[in-house]
């Protein structure tokens, strides 16, 4: 299919020479602010310095030891508001000797170094001495992988349970391939498999099996990182309208073998995407690539209030997406065959600040109108599936079915069960999820040590 | 992979955890500083040159200057700093402190006297207060009193005498630090050996002038209206340091352990010194630029290099490039090559064309419409200048040509001038070598 070309492979960034040139621009700050800006403690100041001093293997080691998904984060992180935001090179303004008013492009250097390990076959981790303790990780997304790798590095026997056919979670099924593709993911997963982590795909830990089953299998501790794969919808529950997809479903389709099928549905059609976050941007961008006639982004607030990153917003506009701002969807119009043919919208204006600190949209009376659309993608929030609390009995959840944890250890209310990633914090960044997994892994080690000691005494 | 490699070295019978030492300079001025350097990973120190308090030492102000080149900062540092200005008692206390708290980090005390008794006095004081080894500073380029600094390094009989005097009074190993401000370093090194030196370190700073003020006409650093020829250090002097280490390592009659100094910032710099015969290396300017932290990358980088090549010990690397170091007359001139271009990578900047035309063999033609160079192979001199300016790594490389290939001779601009030329071929027989 012709549209596949625009999805694969993902865009190339720095080659090694470019990364070295960029590293040479680094000011090598004392107490470097970039390193303080990384949620997963990937230590950009350290790996850039190492690259600068030709210690390339050391640079790679710094990244991978601290962030097992260093490659993925190098690609996907909104670095402009994390490490690069803090970059001192950014502060050196006109008239100063360096003239460097751009931050060092840390994400691109990081990605390049990880790709370099795959080109050279450099092995970061020595083979760990095996330990007897078994840990189960539920979900193979960034949180689960972060946890699994951190444990496996110390020789723990880790098995990752994944409900889908391939590991990776959101990296595999929730991001468009032109931003992050299977090939890249496979290589990064290989680094984790190399540590001895086992993956059991097509194995959901759900209401039938549940964490009890895992404990019965002899796992000493369980980490929950299932992510958020349920979707909020404007379609009343129990009803179904053809042509209306959740972003979860739509984006998964583009990654799980239904690509051509979905492409056929979108090509030549008018597509409306509802929402203003990064996921919505993946939806509009991919719809354009699939050959949609017109792609509308429907958002009830203003441009500056969108949660999508600034570069994503600009990319979407440059791709030709029509931004319908200050328009709130109120329902769908269907044709005679229960297929959507339009979105009912009401215009809004901004009123008082709401709980999120942003001015809230207020509908303008009598301004309702219908946007014709044959495909609608709802990107208005991922949630935990309705029955998810039954997967892990004894684990406390909040009103949104998000798992409650101890903020430092990731421990849930159930002994031996830890959690992290989106199921805890709500939709977040890959790098935050990795950190959650890492922190929980450390707590799991401590927990298992205590259990062992109790067993002895 | 951090494999089972061992960076430790034994130098003059003294064990160092790795071959990376602070050299005698501002970076080794106090125990507080050296302590932090040890914590960062440096294996030992050559402590800032001790003086006997006989003559007061006052450093000029400002002490240093530097050379930037394009976007590269500090490719060389220029300094007029003297030997330690601290009282000998203080320096000895510092040595005692380091010895007490860091017994596994050897202290090499650098000393400098003006006459035999002073050298001996300083040597004994250092030995009695924790020094594991001595470095005789025969090379400070701006201590210009006759009988001291690089003047001694140039007066070989003095160098031998002072070395001998020190050796007669101490039992710890003695290393002589050489000045590069001479023609052949093996000469003074052999004098030091005759005096009993156990090792040679080189190089101290190269006498130079980093720049001259264009408004005030004062060479830099401008010490209240006066400049001086003083010591240049840093990456710019590395080729000179490598030359002197290699020359001494090649000299079979010398046969002493060598400590390499000059422009070392990374593990690759250090490794080059080691491959040319250095058993340890010393660093100052790299630290002046980046701090003690650079040793972390020297340690990790060299360890990974050794692990990847299966080299278990640093001593297995010492001097390994020397068998490949010849005089230029040993080159096989019947083998010739040219450059080759990977044009898929070319961005069309044309720098190659400029340098080939103005400094090479005029072997490139320029396609103005396509903005691409075209190589005329038989004109290429294989000077490689184009590859130095090319912004794309690996676009331009060297390839050997078949033996029957011939380079085209440079064309004469106007052969019609032959009639006006006054020319007689040189016909006298003579030796193949220069007669001195």
Residue (of B108, B118, B201, B109) closest to B162 by Cα position: B118
Residue of A nearest to B395 (CA): A17
- Same-domain check for residues A339 and A211: no
Last residue of a domain, one of A328, A354, A382: A382
DSSP A154-185: TT-EEEEE-SSSSS-THHHHSS-TTTS-HHHH
Per the structure, the complete domain to which residue A302 belongs is given by 230-382
Last residue of a domain, one of A90, A120, A150: A120
Tokens of A429: 């960044």
- Same-domain check for residues A371 and A443: no
On whether any CB of chain A is under 8 Å from the CB of B20, the answer is: no
What's the gap between Cα A445 and its chain centre? 26
Distance CA(B118)–CA(B116), nearest Å, equals 5
Look at A53 and B294 and tell me if their CB atoms are within 8 Å. yes
- Name every chain B residue with its beta carbon within 8 A of the beta carbon of A54: 266-268, 297, 301
Look at B393 and A126 and tell me if their CB atoms are within 8 Å. no
Residue of B nearest to A25 (CA): B71
Q: Is residue A125 part of a domain?
A: no
Q: Is the bond into A157 cis (omega within 30 degrees of 0)?
A: no
At the fourth CATH level, the homologous superfamily of domain B9-324 is Aldolase class I (3.20.20.70)
On whether any CB of chain A is under 8 Å from the CB of B270, the answer is: no
- Same-domain check for residues A399 and A449: yes
- Same-domain check for residues A38 and A108: yes
- Name every chain B residue with its beta carbon within 8 A of the beta carbon of A61: 300
What is the residue extent of each domain of chain B? 9-324, 329-411
Distance CA(A138)–CA(A391), nearest Å, equals 10
- Name every chain B residue with its beta carbon within 8 A of the beta carbon of A123: 1
ipTM value for the complex: 0.89
- Same-domain check for residues A345 and A410: no
B240/chain A closest Cα distance in angstroms: 21
Q: What is the CATH number of the domain that holds A173?
A: 3.50.50.60
Give the length of chain A: 457
| pLDDT tens per residue across span A406-428 | 999 999 999 999 999 999 999 99
Residue (of B382, B384, B348) closest to B366 by Cα position: B348
Residue of B nearest to A125 (CA): B1
- Same-domain check for residues A285 and A336: yes
| pLDDT tens per residue across span B257-306 | 999 999 999 999 999 999 999 999 999 999 999 999 999 999 999 999 99
On whether any CB of chain A is under 8 Å from the CB of B298, the answer is: yes
Distance CA(A226)–CA(A70), nearest Å, equals 21
Q: Is residue A426 part of a domain?
A: yes
- Name every chain A residue with its beta carbon within 8 A of the beta carbon of B304: 55, 57-58
Q: What is the CATH number of the domain that holds A93?
A: 1.10.1060.10
- Same-domain check for residues A378 and A235: yes
- φ, ψ (nearest 5 deg) of residue A172: -95, -40
Q: Is residue A56 part of a domain?
A: yes
Residue (of A416, A409, A390) closest to A401 by Cα position: A390
Distance CA(A142)–CA(A435), nearest Å, equals 9
Beta partners for residue B223, in sequence order: B226
DSSP B209-242: ---B-TTT--BSS-BTTB---EEEESGGGHHHHH
On whether any CB of chain A is under 8 Å from the CB of B344, the answer is: no
- Same-domain check for residues A67 and A177: no
Looking from the CA of B291 toward its CB, the CA atoms found within 13 Å total 11
Distance CA(A449)–CA(B5), nearest Å, equals 32
Decide: pTM greater than 0.95.
no
Look at B266 and A54 and tell me if their CB atoms are within 8 Å. yes
Q: How confident is the model at residue B96 (pLDDT cuts 50, 70, 90)?
A: very high
Query: Taking chain B, what is the end-to-end CA distance rounded to the nearest angstrom?
Result: 55
**What is the H or E stretch that residue B341 is in?**
strand B337-341
Q: Is residue A344 part of a domain?
A: yes
Residue (of B291, B246, B237) closest to B272 by Cα position: B246
- Name every chain B residue with its beta carbon within 8 A of the beta carbon of A47: none
Distance CA(A317)–CA(A326), nearest Å, equals 16
Tokens 């001038």 correspond to what residue? B417
| pLDDT tens per residue across span B173-221 | 999 999 999 999 999 999 999 999 999 999 999 999 999 999 999 999 9
Q: Please indicate whether the domains covering B9-324 and B329-411 agree at the CATH topology level.
A: no
Look at A55 and B301 and tell me if their CB atoms are within 8 Å. yes
Look at A57 and B301 and tell me if their CB atoms are within 8 Å. yes
Look at B1 and A50 and tell me if their CB atoms are within 8 Å. no
On whether the CB atoms of residues B48 and B83 are closer than 8 A, the answer is yes
Which stretches does DSSP call E strand in B271-345? 278-283, 337-341
Edge-to-edge strand ranges of the sheet holding B230-233? B64-69, B72-79, B230-233, B206-208
Q: Which CATH class is domain B329-411?
A: alpha beta
Residue (of A24, A55, A29) closest to B295 by Cα position: A55
Task: Choose the mutation target among B74, B297, B304 for the interface with A, i.e. most A CBs under 10 Å.
Answer: B297
| 3-state class (DSSP) for residue A151 | helix
Which stretches does DSSP call E strand in B210-313? 230-233, 258-261, 278-283
Q: Is residue A127 part of a domain?
A: no
Report, as residue numbers or ranges, the catalytic residues of B: 140
Tokens of A152: 């496996």
On whether the CB atoms of residues A27 and A88 are closer than 8 A, the answer is yes
CB-count exposure of residue B169 (10 Å: 0-12, 13-18, 19+): middle
Beta partners for residue A382, in sequence order: A231
- Same-domain check for residues A308 and A405: no
Check the CA dihedral A263-A268-A274-A279 and report its sign.
positive
Provide the 10 A C-beta neighbour count for residue B299. 23
| pLDDT tens per residue across span A227-240 | 999 998 999 888 88
Tokens of B64: 């240093």
- Name every chain A residue with its beta carbon within 8 A of the beta carbon of B393: 16-17
CB-count exposure of residue B229 (10 Å: 0-12, 13-18, 19+): middle
B90-B95-B100 Cα angle (round to 5) = 125
Q: Is residue A100 part of a domain?
A: yes
Check the CA dihedral A109-A115-A121-A123 and report its sign.
positive
Q: What is the pLDDT along chain A (457 residues), one digit of tens a residue?
A: 577 888 888 989 999 999 999 999 999 999 999 999 999 999 999 999 999 999 999 999 999 999 999 999 999 999 989 999 888 887 764 445 554 468 999 999 999 999 999 999 999 999 899 999 999 999 999 999 999 999 999 999 999 999 999 999 999 999 999 999 999 999 999 999 999 999 999 999 999 999 999 999 999 999 999 999 999 899 988 888 999 999 999 999 999 989 999 999 999 999 999 999 999 999 999 999 999 999 999 999 999 999 999 999 999 999 999 999 999 999 999 998 999 999 999 999 999 998 888 899 999 999 999 999 999 999 998 999 999 999 999 999 999 999 999 999 999 999 999 999 999 999 999 999 999 999 999 999 999 999 999 888 7
How many contacts (CB atoms, under 8 Å) link A and B?
48
- Same-domain check for residues A30 and A88: yes
- φ, ψ (nearest 5 deg) of residue A281: -70, -40
Looking from the CA of A202 toward its CB, the CA atoms found within 13 Å total 1
- Backbone Cα Rg of chain B: 26
- Same-domain check for residues A27 and A144: no
- Structural domains in chain A (count): 3
Provide the 10 A C-beta neighbour count for residue B251. 18
- Same-domain check for residues A378 and A390: no
A65/chain B closest Cα distance in angstroms: 12
């Amino acid at each position: 299919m012709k549209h596949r070309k625009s999805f694969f492979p993902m865009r190339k960034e720095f080659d090694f020479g470019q990364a070295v040139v960029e590293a040479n621009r680094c000011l090598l700050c004392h107490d470097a602010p970039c390193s303080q800006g990384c949620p997963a403690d990937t230590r950009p100041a350290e790996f850039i310095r190492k690259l600068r001093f030709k210690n390339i293997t050391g640079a790679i080691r710094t990244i991978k030891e601290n962030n097992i998904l260093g490659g993925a984060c190098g690609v996907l992180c909104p670095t402009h508001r994390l490490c690069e935001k803090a970059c001192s090179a950014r502060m050196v303004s006109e008239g100063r000797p360096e003239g460097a008013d751009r931050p060092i492009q840390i994400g691109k250097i990081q990605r390049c170094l990880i790709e370099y390990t795959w080109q050279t076959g450099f092995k970061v981790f020595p083979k760990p001495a095996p330990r007897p303790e078994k840990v189960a990780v539920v979900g193979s997304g960034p949180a689960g992988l972060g946890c699994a790798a951190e444990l496996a590095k110390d020789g723990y026997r880790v098995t990752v349970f994944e409900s889908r056919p391939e590991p990776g979670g959101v990296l595999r099924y929730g991001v468009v391939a032109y931003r992050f593709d299977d090939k890249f993911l496979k290589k990064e997963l290989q680094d984790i498999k190399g540590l001895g982590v086992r993956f059991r795909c097509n194995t959901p830990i759900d209401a039938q099996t549940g964490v009890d089953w895992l404990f019965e299998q002899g796992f000493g501790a369980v980490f929950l990182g299932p992510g958020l794969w349920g979707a909020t919808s404007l379609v009343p529950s129990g009803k179904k309208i053809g042509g209306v997809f959740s972003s979860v479903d739509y984006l998964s389709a583009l990654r799980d073998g239904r690509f051509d099928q979905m492409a056929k549905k979108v090509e030549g059609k008018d597509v409306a995407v509802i929402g203003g976050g990064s996921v919505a941007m993946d939806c509009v961008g991919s719809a354009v690539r699939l050959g949609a006639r017109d792609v509308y982004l429907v958002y009830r607030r203003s441009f500056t209030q969108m949660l999508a990153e600034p570069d994503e917003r600009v990319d979407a506009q440059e791709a030709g997406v029509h931004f319908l701002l200050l328009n709130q969807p109120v329902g769908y119009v269907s044709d005679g065959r229960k297929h959507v043919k339009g979105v009912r919208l009401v215009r809004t204006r901004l009123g008082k600040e709401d709980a999120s600190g942003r001015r809230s949209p207020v509908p303008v009376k009598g301004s309702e109108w219908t946007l014709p659309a044959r495909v609608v993608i709802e990107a208005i929030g991922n949630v935990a599936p309705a029955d998810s609390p039954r997967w892990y009995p004894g684990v406390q959840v909040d009103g949104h079915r998000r798992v409650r944890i101890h903020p430092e250890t990731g421990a849930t209310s159930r002994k031996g069960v830890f959690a992290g990633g989106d199921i805890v914090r709500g939709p977040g960044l890959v790098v935050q999820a990795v950190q959650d997994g890492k922190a929980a892994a450390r707590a799991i080690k401590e927990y298992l040590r205590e259990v062992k000691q109790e067993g002895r005494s | 992979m951090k494999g089972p490699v061992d960076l430790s070295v034994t130098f003059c019978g003294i064990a160092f955890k790795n071959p990376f030492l602070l050299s005698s300079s501002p970076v080794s001025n106090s125990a507080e500083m050296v302590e932090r350097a040890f914590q960062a990973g440096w294996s030992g120190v050559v402590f800032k040159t001790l003086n006997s308090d006989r003559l007061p030492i006052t450093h000029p102000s400002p002490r240093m200057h530097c050379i930037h080149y394009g976007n590269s900062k500090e490719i060389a540092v220029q300094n007029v700093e003297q030997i330690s200005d601290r009282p000998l008692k203080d320096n000895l206390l510092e040595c005692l402190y380091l010895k007490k708290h860091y017994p596994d980090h050897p202290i090499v005390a650098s000393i400098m006297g003006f006459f035999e008794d002073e050298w001996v006095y300083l040597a004994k004081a250092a030995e009695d207060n924790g020094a594991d080894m001595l470095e005789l500073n025969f090379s400070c380029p701006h201590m210009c009193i006759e009988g001291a600094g690089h003047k001694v390094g140039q007066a070989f009989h003095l160098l031998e005498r002072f070395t001998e005097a020190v050796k007669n009074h101490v039992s710890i190993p003695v290393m002589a630090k050489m000045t590069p401000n001479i023609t052949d370093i093996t000469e003074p090194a052999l004098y030091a050996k005759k005096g009993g030196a156990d090792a040679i370190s080189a190089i101290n700073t190269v006498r130079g002038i980093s720049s001259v003020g264009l408004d005030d006409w004062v060479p830099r650093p401008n010490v209240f209206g006066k400049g001086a020829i003083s010591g240049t250090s840093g990456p710019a002097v590395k080729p000179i340091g490598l030359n002197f280490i290699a020359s001494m390592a090649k000299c079979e009659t010398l046969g002493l352990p060598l400590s390499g100094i000059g422009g070392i910032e990374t593990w690759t710099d250090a490794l080059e010194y080691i491959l040319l015969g250095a058993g340890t290396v010393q660093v100052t300017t790299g630290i002046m630029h980046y701090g003690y932290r650079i040793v972390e990358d020297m340690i990790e980088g060299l360890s990974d290099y050794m692990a990847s090549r299966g080299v278990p010990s640093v001593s297995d690397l010492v001097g390994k490039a020397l068998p490949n170091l010849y005089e230029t007359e040993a080159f096989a001139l019947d083998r010739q090559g040219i450059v080759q271009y990977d044009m898929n990578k070319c961005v069309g900047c044309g720098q190659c064309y400029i340098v080939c035309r103005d400094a090479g063999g005029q072997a490139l033609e320029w396609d103005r419409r396509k903005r691409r160079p075209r190589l005329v192979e038989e004109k290429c001199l294989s000077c490689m200048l184009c590859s130095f300016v090319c912004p794309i790594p690996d676009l331009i490389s060297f390839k050997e040509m078949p033996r029957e290939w011939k380079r085209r001779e440079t064309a004469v601009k106007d052969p019609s001038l032959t009639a006006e030329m006054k020319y007689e071929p040189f016909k006298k027989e003579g030796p193949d070598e220069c007669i001195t």
